[in-house]
A and B are shown apart, each in its own frame.
Chain A
Amino acid sequence: MIEDFALQCPIPLDDNPTVQMGHGGGGRMTRDLIEKIFLPAFTNDLLAPLHDGAILPPVGGRLAFTTDSFVVRPIFFRGGDLGSLAVNGTVNDLAMCGARPLYLSAGFILEEGLPIKDLWRVVRSMADAAAAAGVRVVTGDTKVVDKGHGDGIFINTAGVGVIETRLTIGPMSVRPGDAILLNGDIGRHGIAVMAEREGLEFESDISSDCAPLNGPVLALLDGGVEVHCLRDLTRGGLTSALIEISESANLPMRVEEETVSVQDGVRGACEILGLEPFSVANEGRFIAFVPAGEAETALRLLGSGAAVIGAVDPPGNQPPLVRVRTSLGTSRILDLPSGEQLPRIC
């Protein structure tokens, strides 16, 4: 890794191997960091002037605007890192508005003592993720905090996207009879991060599902599917997404447990740790609500791994609930986990 780094990292290791307070001081060291780390990675016309803000060309449509902060520990995990997460997280929030993500900002809070090579790896990974998602990082900021006042590196990204569809995408558009689609297997991101953080070793390699979702979402919209609602399954997993939309739309839903794909490794880890795969975090999964008649088209556009997992029911007398039909054919109510999921005693 060091050799690899020496080939790529523009700041020599022996010069400043770690982040110093001076890197956030606005002087020469700050400029060094910008010119040698951020600019080469994010290079583009809109960023190049290094003005106080980026000046964006007019776009043809409504704008979607979002922000998210990324504080995951550890910074690097199987299948991704803080950098890819910081780009994909915001890209995905824009995609869930039905927007085509265009521009991101990147704010870094670095802890004194962070190895420069780690920063370089994270920034490179952001650049790769931005390229893969087709977005540009056009403005940014860096602050350095005293050692002990941060956790290595925190990143905030904000994003702007253009909405080219005439549809209103959100819980208010969900209708009884809508099919609920899921774009792949769940739980890998949460388990991959937990395995890395807690030093758990599993026989099978569980790799995060971290990925940009603007591709599949735009495939649905460009394919003419009347998308009613989209939600990415991040913290709280499938459980939180379903319950939040059910409550906002004031409509009950039902899900067939057997149709929700969970990799064996994730299932095994969840069994051992006493976690519920439905409530484990994802970073590249979303649910889409579409009219039942368009479910087949939508599945074809989403490609392999996607499945219809349930449907929206007509409103009843009770408060709206999400019911899960278990593999035994019985039914249970899906409920939000309270706070963090905690591994069980035995």
Chain B
Amino acid sequence: MKYLDEYRDAATARTYAEAIARMTTRPWTIMEVCGGQTHAIVRFGIDTLLPPQISLLHGPGCPVCVTPLEVLDQAVDIAARPNVIFCSFGDMLRVPGSQSDLFQVKSNGGDVRIVYSPVDAVQVARENPEKEVVFLAVGFETTAPANAMAVHRAKEEGISNFSVLVSHVLVPPAMEAILSSRHNRVQGFLAAGHVCTVMGYTEYEPLARRYHVPIVVTGFEPLDILQGVYLCVRQLEEGRAEVENQYSRSVRREGNQPAQELIREVFTVVPRKWRGIGEIPASGLGLAPPYAAFDAAKRFQVDSHHAEENPECISGLVLQGIKKPQECPAFGTKCTPTHPLGATMVSSEGACAAYYKYRRHETVEPSPSAAVGGAAP
């Protein structure tokens, strides 16, 4: 299949893996930022092709995993109301809030619908003027333009029965939080290709300089990831710390400027709580003042929710690359995709779910920093 098979070619993959092995003279720890990359690495066993000195850490780039408990509780609260049609991306439905999830709301009679695009939710609002239609707007910079477009369109058309429950997060502040932590082990990053398709990569350049880390903008197919690792290791071995673009078939340095303008028009940068990690300053997007009327949290007055994470869940440490999923005592026992304690076990892109799906029968090698506990950046 065109645009797919050429990036999954076994012979080229071996060539890259051998080149990486030849080049590697010492241990390096590289974090892939995006959950889509984690999924591909585990699904295709890409880490098993790499020399033992290279360890890959799974980053915080799974929107399902980092959406805070409070927002899920707000979603459940709103979705359960009788006059509401609650629209969401599919994989948010199973994410547990503190009491319930959206699937349970649906089975109790709530009108919860899966949509493939936020613009579809606007259409639902158009077709159901007597109902309040709410869209759960989560995700990174990747989903922000489409979510912004939905709100923008609703405002233009005067669709007053539409609103969004926003919990958008931004990648660079999370990378900075990891790099500035005293427990940081990350020496190089594979940045998220789709995020950079929208945003470009100029905002990563100061990070690379300040923390002296190579950052390689990387795609999602096996050969993308292998080439990303190759470029990253080459920089590490040569002592360079630059931003390089592996995913040039999709990413330009300046990104997609009309999309960025739309994001700036509809959203404003706000502090954001990340599930399992805590609040990171200027790490999220909220609705800008001209669009405040579309804020579902205000419209339904659910701002005051406060929730505590299950103390057994170490997803925060997993998201920061401090622990591997199998090092969690609850992994595969108390915590499974059917009964997840934390969000990293829910989404197919969550590191715990990916390990459960493909690796749960392997023996555990503790991370070097396994003694570190409860640390937040």
Chain A residues with CB under 8 Å of chain B are: 198, 200, 264, 267-268, 271, 273-274, 318-319, 321, 326-333, 335, 338-339, 342-346
Contacts and interface: CB of A to CB of B under 8 A. Distances in A.
Given A268-B1, A342-B114, A345-B63, A328 B142 contact: no
A290 B237 CA distance: 52
Nearest to B223: A328
B44 interface: yes
A333 B360 contact: yes
Interface of B: 1, 4, 8, 10, 13-14, 36, 42-46, 48-49, 63-64, 89-94, 103, 114, 116, 138-140, 142-143, 194, 222, 336-338, 347-349, 356-361
Contacts of A264: 1
B45 A328 contact: yes
> Which among B10, B63, B103, B356 has the greatest number of chain A C-beta atoms within 10 A?
B10
A326 B223 CA distance: 13
Nearest to A274: B348
Given A271-B4, A321-B361, A332 B349 contact: no
Across the A-B interface, give the 8 residue pairs with the lowest CB-CB distance, nearest first. Answer: A330-B45, A342-B90, A343-B90, A338-B337, A345-B89, A335-B357, A332-B358, A346-B142
B44 to A, nearest CB: 5
A267 B1 contact: yes
Contacts of B64: 345
A271 B43 CA distance: 13
A264 B90 CA distance: 23
A345 B8 contact: no
Given A198-B116, A335-B358, A342-B114, A329 B91 contact: no
Given A264-B1, A267-B1, A343-B114, A330 B46 contact: yes
B71 to A, nearest CB: 14
> Which among B1, B92, B103, B356 has the greatest number of chain A C-beta atoms within 10 A?
B1
A222 B319 CA distance: 57
Contact of B138 (A326, A338, A345): A345
Given A338-B337, A346-B142, A332 B90 contact: no
A326 B45 contact: yes
A333 B45 contact: no
B142 A332 contact: no
